[in-house]
Amino acid sequence: MSEAAQSAPARWRRLLGDRPDETLLRALFRALVGITVAVLAFDMYERMNAPPPPREQLLPGEVPQVEPFLPSSRPNLDPAEQERGRPTPDGLREAMRIELAADGRLTATGTITPGTAERFAAEVERRGSYVKTVVLNSPGGSVQDALAMGRLIRDKGFATEVGADAHCASSCPLVFAGGVKRVARKGASIGVHQVFAVSAQGNAADTGMADAQRVSAECQRHLVAMGVDPRVWIHAMETPPKRLFYFSPEELTELKLATAP
């Protein structure tokens, strides 16, 4: 037997040691661990460099995940009303911003999140007699906060306004109704639908018929106390959450939701 052939087993013994089976198993295990780490690293790299997923469009409710520009529930839509189905501007998805503008106008722009009423009250207290009109551009949100904001507006004797091409939907009209004078500018979109709660993930929550009726009754009492025709809330109760009943300019004044165009 050649010298090279005689030295091969010796080289394998030196490489594998006295227990070659155990050595091979350790090597195989290390290889599997290395492959797993490589796969995880590649997956993390893909996730970090992947484009962001499309924003999930959720419904107006009691938490800030909302999609306010929903289709109208009304047949025979005119082109202007069809346009209201456009995607939500990012600015309205954010929690409501409350800022003092010129001429005593307090602007309230964005979603009414839980706790917005407290922030609104603090801002009103801080601004004092400067505030004359609350200007709304909101997809709605927390019903209880909207009710509290509407009551405070009435207590302070403020006017309310929805500007030209601005939006006031879902619970926002409850705030709008609080104004002693309520102005809807040309092109303003004001709409209502059924009250419902959503979970933290943005899914509709099963709160039961009793809760839905209680909240709806509270909203209707609020509108009547503000001098608004209760038929406004009938339209809300008749409209499913995935749609909105948009009021025409004539209906806004006829139902006393707006006191002036």
- Residue 86: what pLDDT? 43
Q: What is the mean pLDDT of residues 98-105?
A: 94
Q: Tell me the pLDDT tens digit for each residue of 161-217.
A: 999 989 999 999 999 999 999 999 998 999 998 876 544 444 444 445 666 678 888
Q: Tell me the pLDDT band of 55, cut-offs 50, 70 and 90.
A: very low
Report which residue type is found at 53: P
Residue 67 tokens read as 């999609």
- Residue 39: what pLDDT? 62
pTM for this structure? 0.67
Residue 169 and residue 146: Cα distance in Å, rounded? 11
Residue 8 tokens read as 């091969």
Kindly state the percentage of the chain with pLDDT values over 90. 47
* The CATH homologous superfamily of the domain defined by 79-254: 2-enoyl-CoA Hydratase; Chain A, domain 1 (3.90.226.10)
Residue 247 and residue 30: Cα distance in Å, rounded? 69
Domain spans of the chain, in order of start: 3-49, 79-254
Check: CB of residue 36 under 8 Å from CB of residue 43. no
